[in-house]
Structure 1
């Protein structure tokens, strides 16, 4: 067997609820609550409405649920629609490594779809989440996908396949075929996240999630994939991952990847989270920034490359471009003292006050920030006022970073902020409690049913 596929199958066989450390189980609960909260917050977004409309046109023999709509579509279309809702606001979690980055909760919908189809207990849902994170994050380490040509969702499609196969109880040889089918057929480009960023930024990982579930459905029915998908003569390593490091594709139960993932505080790219904190602090000190002479943000190379490296990042015209623009996000936080969902309205993007701040703002690589990456997401913001006064703020790890974890009650509030307007207070509270205690459930049918939106459409 291909050594990469063999290693991934071995990872799947390692994960069992009764072997998971207590902190990993709690981390899975935390990231589940956070992801579903993000989905409900993104429920009304146009890209989410497109995805749900498409899912509603498909009926499965074993129907599963789209969040907010109830049961009725196929597992792969539920994974797609739920994945779009989780991802579209750029509010869900992140994994960062020296080689790449990505958003592992993008692949929780594969676990939920498989779990609902199989009638799996909540303990298996926890296993599936931990496994999806483990495979995605360790592949990110090994492939270096996420900030160069190939997009991180190339790893996500494999994580979705393995996690859904685990939840469905596939045999090792079937899981190997699911991995091969997912890996060999689903490559995506990082171009989605640069230039003028489109709606597809909020859907590319959901598409990977869908394709991973589909690969598992094929393998479950006997479809075979190439035996050497990674290590073959024209396999993935030869063609698309020459830097692949097999030694990094391993599971350490004392250092599971889910414990190294970060929850977001703001609806914006991960690289900007501590920069927004710094800008908010300077706004607190100086008030409205009418007297700015210059603004300089010092950050790590990935931050400059991904969120300040295109001219469109300096005058964003779409929501998706703006939430991936370090210059815009810093300028908006300096102007208003926050970055909320209103920051991406058309009138906010065209605000002349923001344009004036952008005209005196620069983003540069900071040596200390570069040296501390990926252990820290360090940003240094320095502003000079017209009278020569200099204000400087350094933020190493924002509240939500794995080294500065967001408290559980704040994750709950983040969830309720999205859930209550859609579900009502009582149903939102019930849904939240079921999510926090998901591993106590015999199946997730009632959990998913609790997500029904009172007014499904606008």
Structure 2
């Protein structure tokens, strides 16, 4: 790293992580070597295409979040503590890498319109890695291919951990895994050595085991900023490792480490390939991911005929267990109260009600005045969320049901609107447009872009598409140079309901 910054010379550049007695930390070092060994050339053409699509979607979400109260609060704090630095901020300006990761990840995450990966027991948002890995790449003056390779490694690590080592059932947030993937991806972007990378992962993973209560009702604004804080702090840990700071390299194997405190990590990183992207999802609607198929079914019913709210007796949404637990009055608490954006986008009763009334679920459905409108507040009281009953003795024995049994390969939902005369309107889905079985393409995302940022010029939108599609053949500055053209004045303000503290 000496060619980047003379202050970056590590104190112990050749130190290798070892247990007492000289035993190697196999799992941690293997994860580090996987990240460092990921090259853009080895990524399949399908995964490369999906990676660029997910990056494009992430930028769309970031542009659309400009002007939101919590996002502006983060930017204001970064500005107060000092601007200037190698890393570009969305909307213009620059900052140190950790602050750029904080500000830019707040932008990509705040709308809750970003990508997802579904494991059987846990979900995550792998685009949460973008802000920090991009900052690391820009700081190191890397190429677009460097960035994409590092991002692919981070996606693989976070998604595979969600799939094989879920922590949310133990009370920890999915950002716990983000701490590991950011450190690994940033290390790849800055071309650190295996020892530095292992220590970066160890420092970050030890410090950033966050609680999942941030996803529970009543949701606070931290729900939309938790990933930004983790990304920023993980990048700090990575920079400390470049200066020789060591971490608990027994994180995955020693007493009191991951196996005892969180979950065992059994992935064989020597056999791992960056191939998870085709299994990741994009969102069609601006709402929590497990609501997507329910909302598509709801809007199908609305498209069939005109339904007045006063004609509706009841709306029943039948969903799989994970959806019920997170957004439908299950383990994460009651979802029949929605007075802020953060509460509304995780309330299936609100989302179904506003979809029936407005015919869409986009950022404008989360403006304060829309959330508090009497029509949607009244209709959501008539929305019930249920898990369908078991259909067989086998399902009863497994304590499952026909919808949950298919998850995460399918995302089943059934919506029944009962009118006051007794007539019922029913629609059912097993996936949605944006799910891996019906993935988005460039045209779909260009439509999403125009919908979220209608005031952005066609020229700017076209430049974003062009740069992202050819980023592997460009310097990373071709991407970050666009950020100053994303002005908050070009997107409608999404000021939060309780953001009066923003000066």
Please say whether Structure 1 and Structure 2 have the same fold, judged by a TM-score greater than 0.5: yes
Measure the CA separation in 2 of the matches of 1:336 and 1:303.
22
Q: CA RMSD in A?
A: 2.0
**In the alignment, does 2:73 pair up with 1:50?**
yes
Q: Does 1:450 align with 2:453?
A: no
What do residues 192-218 of structure 1 show as CA deviations (whole Å, max 9, x unaligned)? 111121111111001111112111111
Partners of 1:88 and 1:454 in 2: how far apart? 16
SS state at 2:315 partner:
strand
Q: 1:440 aligns with which of 473, 477, 486?
A: 473
SS in structure 1 at match of 2:409: coil
Q: Is the 8 A contact 1:139 1:249 kept in 2?
A: no
Partner-residue secondary structure (3-state), 1:5: helix
Structure 1 position 377 matched with structure 2 position 411: yes
Quick check: 1:26 aligned with 2:49? yes
Question: Are the counterparts in 1 of residues 157 and 181 from structure 2 also a CA contact under 8 Å?
Answer: yes
Which TM-score applies when normalising by structure 1? Answer: 0.93
Note if contact 2:295-2:351 (Cα within 8 Å) is conserved in structure 1. Answer: yes
Aligned to 2:336: 314
Q: Larger Cα Rg: Structure 1 or Structure 2?
A: 2
8 Å CA contact retained: 1:278, 1:395 = yes
Q: Quick check: 340-349 or 325-334, which moved more?
A: 340-349
SS at match of 2:403: helix
Q: Aligned pair in 2 of structure 1 residues 144, 364: CA closer, same or farther (>3 Å)?
A: same
| 1:5 has 2:28 as partner | yes
Q: TM-score, normalised by structure 2?
A: 0.85
| CA deviation vs aligned residue, 1:271-297 (integer Å, no higher than 9, x gap) | 111111111111122423432222211
Assess, with a 3 A threshold, how the Cα gap between structure 1 residues 182 and 137 changes in structure 2: closer, same or farther.
Answer: same
* Map of 1:291 onto structure 2: 311
Q: In the alignment, does 2:75 pair up with 1:41?
A: no
The alpha-carbon deviation at position 76 of structure 1 amounts to: 0.8
Shift of the 416–251 alpha-carbon distance from structure 1 to 2, 3 Å rule, reads farther
Do 1:416 and 1:429's aligned partners in 2 also have CA atoms closer than 8 Å? Answer: no
Query: 1:138 maps to what in 2?
Result: 160
Give 1:299 shift: 0.8
| Equivalent residue, structure 2, for 1:205 | 227
Residue deviations 1:390-432 (CA, integer Å, cap 9, x gap)? 221111111111111012111123234445635x332332122
Distance 2:288 2:166 in 1: 18
Larger % of helix: which? 1
Q: Does the alignment pair 1:400 with 2:434?
A: yes
| Residue 246 (structure 1) aligned with residue 266 (structure 2) | yes
Q: Residue 222 of structure 1 corresponds to which residue in structure 2?
A: 244
Report SS of the residue matched to 2:302: helix
Aligned to 1:279: 298
The partner residue of 2:211 within 189, 193, 199 is 189
Is 1:269 the counterpart of 2:288? The answer is yes
Q: How does 1:118-133 map to 2 (within 5 A)?
A: 118-133=140-155
Q: Judge conservation of contact 2:252–2:265 (CA < 8 Å) in 1.
A: no
Say yes or no: does 1:329 pair with 2:346: no
Q: 2:402 aligns with which of 365, 368, 378?
A: 368
Tell me how far apart the structure 1 counterparts of residues 450 and 311 of structure 2 sit (CA, whole Å). Answer: 38
Superposition deviation, residue 363 in structure 1: 0.8
Alignment partner of 1:386 out of 396, 420, 426: 420
**Are 2:375 and 1:353 aligned?**
yes
Deviations 1:1-50 (A, max 9, x none): 33431331242144211111101111111011000110000011111111
Q: Determine helix, strand or coil for the equivalent of 1:9.
A: helix
Structure 2 segments unaligned to the other structure (5+ residues): 1-23, 389-400, 494-503
**SS state of the match for residue 170, structure 1?**
coil
How far apart are residue 119 of structure 1 and its match? 1.1
**Larger deviation: 9-18 or 266-275?**
9-18
For each residue in 1:343-396, what CA deviation from the matched residue of structure 2 results, as whole angstroms up to 9, or x when unmatched?
212232223332333233211113221011011111111122222222211111
Task: Give the 3-state SS of the residue equivalent to 2:88 in structure 1.
Answer: strand
Distance in structure 2 (CA, Å) of the matches to 1:418 and 1:65: 22
Gaps of 5+ in 1: none
Q: Which moved more, 1:183-192 or 1:8-17?
A: 8-17
Q: Give the Cα separation in 2 of the matches to 1:154 and 1:93.
A: 17
Instruction: Write the deviation string for residues 220-268 of structure 1: whole angstroms up to 9, x where unpaired.
Output: 1111111201222111221233xx2514767643x71121110011111
CA contact (8 A) 1:415 1:432 kept: no
- Contact 1:76 1:213 (8 Å CA) reproduced: yes
> Counterpart of 1:394 in 2: which secondary structure?
strand
* CA distance in 1: counterparts of 2:226 and 2:469, whole angstroms: 28
Count of residue pairs brought into register by the alignment: 452
Distance 1:14 1:369 in 2: 40
Contact 1:431/1:451 (<8 A) preserved: no
Does residue 431 (structure 1) correspond to residue 453 (structure 2)? The answer is no
Aligned match of 1:170: 192
Give the secondary structure class of the aligned counterpart of 2:255.
coil
Deviations 1:166-194 (A, max 9, x none): 01000111110011001001111111111
User: Structure 1 residues 392, 30: CA separation in 2 closer, same or farther (over 3 Å shift)?
Assistant: same
